Amino acid sequence: MPRHNSFVPHGVIPAVILPFHDDLSIDEPGFRKHLRDVAATDGISAITINAHSTEVASCTFEEQMRVHAIAQDEVGSRLPIVHGIWADGSLEAARIAKVATEGGASALLVFPPAPFTMGQNAAMAIEHFKHIADASNLPLIAFQYPLATGQGYPNETLLRMVDEIPTLKAIKDWAGTPQQHEWHVRTLQNLPRPINVLSTQSSWLMASLSFGCNGLLSGSGSVIPDLQAQLFKAMRAGDLKAAQAINDRIYPLASVFYAQPWVDMHNRMKEALVLLGRLPRAVVRPPLVKIERAEIERIRKALVQAGLLEKAKVRAA
């Protein structure tokens, strides 16, 4: 299987969505088209699958592997594939890692186990990652949740993870506060063995990138990969005026995508893709439910404000 062996997680990495048919089965043709659409974007460095954006919690192991196979077939020869590792137990996480590695993934995005909401310590976190690292030699990305959730890794734990897990190469930073986020960037990216910080602070992305993140990994990239790539490039170049202009287009979309409840963020992104004519339908799997017409109208208005949808060409919401 194709693999980009030299890939170190960095740059703009969209997390794609997963379309479903009305009967809740995977819409494979729709997914293939979506992958091609996102992969055609200039300035992206990889694509993420089997993550929040693909409703991984509602997908079976077999479906996750099918998603991976489709992604490899459609875009794996052109772009590295980052495969999400979503599992509450370390043995299952290792099984997913092994199969994803054999299937050609280029990196693994490791979600924190749900039991950590009841408490964790550094030994637990390291044990989880060691099981995955023993099953795969691929670069690992630790998904850093807000500390208040119980699933976020305290600073001391992160530093121990870096010391004890040689294949840990990056974090997907959803720390939630500017202070914690800045510590990650200043500390992790300046270690003797640097760890890249990939921002997923998508509701305040420009501010986040101003700290000097070496990349971003976001579900919003399923809708606006081009704007994210342009913003990242402008911020890296120190072109504040250009970055502000791009951010002015992103802001209305971030405001509607990341409204409460957050669990609907990718639900809303699917509706945006339908309004843009890129998806035939916006179907989500339970326990998610289709959002109300009034919210779809807010998404439509945000797309117009962002310059992605002309008023004269708006499809019926």
Query: Please, what is the average pLDDT of the chain?
Result: 96
For the segment 262-271, the average pLDDT, to the nearest whole number, is 96
For the segment 275-298, the average pLDDT, to the nearest whole number, is 97
Residue 2: per-residue pLDDT: 56
For the segment 141-145, the average pLDDT, to the nearest whole number, is 98
3-state secondary structure the chain: CCCCCCCCCCEEEEECCCCECCCCCECHHHHHHHHHHHHCCCCECCEEECCHHHCHHHCCHHHHHHHHHHHHHHHCCCCCEEEEECCCCHHHHHHHHHHHHHCCCCEEEECCCHHHHHCCCHHHHHHHHHHHHHHCCCCEEEEECCHHHCCCCCHHHHHHHHHHCCCEEEEEECCCCHHHHHHHHHHHCCCCCCCEEEECCHHHHHHHHCCCCCEEEEHHHHCCHHHHHHHHHHHHHCCHHHHHHHHHHHHHHHHHHCCCCHHHHHHHHHHHHHHCCCCCCCCCCCCCCCCCHHHHHHHHHHHHHCCCCCHHHCCCC
Residue 313: per-residue pLDDT: 55
Q: Model confidence over 289-298: pLDDT tens digits?
A: 999 999 999 9
Domain ranges of the chain: 11-237
- Categorize the per-residue pLDDT at 310 as very low, low, confident or very high, splitting at 50, 70 and 90: confident
CATH number of this structure's domain 11-237: 3.20.20.70
Q: Model confidence over 168-222: pLDDT tens digits?
A: 999 999 998 999 999 999 999 999 999 999 999 999 999 999 999 999 999 999 9
Q: Model confidence over 47-75: pLDDT tens digits?
A: 999 999 999 999 999 999 999 999 999 99
pLDDT at 315 over 90: no
Instruction: Return the percentage of the chain with pLDDT > 70, whole number.
Output: 96
Residue 317: per-residue pLDDT: 43
